[in-house]
Chain A
Amino acid sequence: MNLLTSFRTELLKTRRTSLWYLCCTAAILVPFFMFFDYESGEGLNELKTDPWNIYFRQGQRAMNIMFLPMYIVLITTLLPQIEYKNNTWKQVLTSPQSTSHIFFSKLLVIQVLILLFILLHNLFMLVSLTTKSVLYPTLVLWEHTINWMEFLKMNAISYMSILATLGLQFWLGIRSKSFLLPIGVGIGLWILSAVMVAELHWPYAKYFPNVIPMMVVFPKLAPGLSTLTLISVGYAVLFLGLALLEFNTKKVKE
Chain B
Amino acid sequence: MRDSSIIKTTALEYSYSKEFQALADINLHIQRGQIYGFLGPNGSGKTTTLRLLLGLLKVQQGNIEIFGQELHTNRSDILRKVGSLIESPSLYGHLSARENLEVYRPIYGASIARMDHVLQLVGLGQTGRKMFRQFSLGMKQRLALALALLPQPELLILDEPTNGLDPSGIIELRELIKKLNREEGMTILVSSHILSEVEKMVTHLGIIFKGSMQFQGSIQELFRLQEYSSRLLVHTSDNDAAIRALYHYHPERSGETLSITIKDFKQAAEISRTLFEQDLDIYLLQPKVHDLEQLFIDLTTTPTLTPSHE
Chain A residues proximal to chain B, CB less than 8 Å: 1, 5-6, 8-9, 12-13, 15-17, 82, 85-91, 93-98, 249, 251-252
With contacts A96-B76, A96-B80, A251-B58 taken as known, whether A86 is within 8 angstroms of B104 at the C-beta atoms is no
Q: Which residues of B contact A89 (CB under 8 A)?
A: 90
- Given A15-B94, A91-B90, check contact A1 B107 (CB 8 Å): yes
Partner of B86 from A1, A90, A95, A251 at Cβ < 8 Å? A90
Query: Which B125-153 residues sit within 8 Å CB-CB of chain A?
Result: 147
B252 at interface, CB cutoff 8 A: no
- B107 contacts which of A6, A16, A17, A90 (Cβ < 8 Å)? A6
A-B contact pairs, 6 of them (CB 8 A): A9-B107, A15-B95, A86-B90, A88-B91, A96-B77, A251-B58
State how many angstroms separate the Cβ of A206 from the closest Cβ of chain B.
40
Q: A185 CB to closest chain B CB, in angstroms?
A: 26
Known contacts: A9-B106, A86-B92, A93-B55. The answer to whether A15 contacts B79 by CB under 8 A is no
A-facing residues in B271-291 (Cβ within 8 Å): none
Taking A90-B51, A94-B55, A251-B57 as known contacts, 16 extra A-B pairs with beta carbons closer than 8 A to each other, sorted by chain A number, are A1-B76, A6-B107, A8-B106, A9-B103, A15-B95, A86-B93, A88-B91, A89-B90, A90-B86, A91-B104, A94-B56, A94-B79, A95-B79, A96-B75, A96-B77, A97-B76
Instruction: Indicate the member of A6, A16, A90 with the most B CB atoms within 10 Å.
Output: A90
- A12-B99 CB under 8 A given contacts A86-B93, A87-B88, A96-B80: yes
Min distance, Cβ A249 to any Cβ of chain B, angstroms: 8
Number of interface residues of B (CB under 8 A): 30
Instruction: List 7 tightest A-B contacts by C-beta distance, closest first.
Output: A91-B90, A96-B80, A96-B79, A96-B76, A94-B54, A88-B90, A5-B106
Bound Cα distance A73, B24 (Å): 44
Chain B residue, CB-CB nearest to A91: B90
Given the known interface contacts A9-B106, A12-B103, A93-B55, the answer about A86 and B76 at a Cβ–Cβ threshold of 8 Å is no
**B-side contacts of A17, CB under 8 Å:** 94
* A1-B76, A90-B86 known; A16-B94 Cβ under 8 A: yes
CB of B92 within 8 A of CB of A88, answer yes
Bound Cα distance A1, B102 (Å) = 16
Contacts of B103 in A (CB 8 A): 9, 12-13
- Residues of A contacting B82 in the complex (Cβ-Cβ under 8 angstroms): 94
B99 interface neighbour in A15, A90, A91, A93, Cβ under 8 Å: A15
Q: Mark B84-123, 1 if CB is under 8 A from A, else 0.
A: 1011101111110001001110111000000000000000
Shortest B160–chain A CB gap in Å is: 14
Interchain CB contact under 8 A, A86 and B56: no
Please give, as numbers and ranges, the residues of chain B lying within 8 Å of A16 by CB-CB distance: 94-95
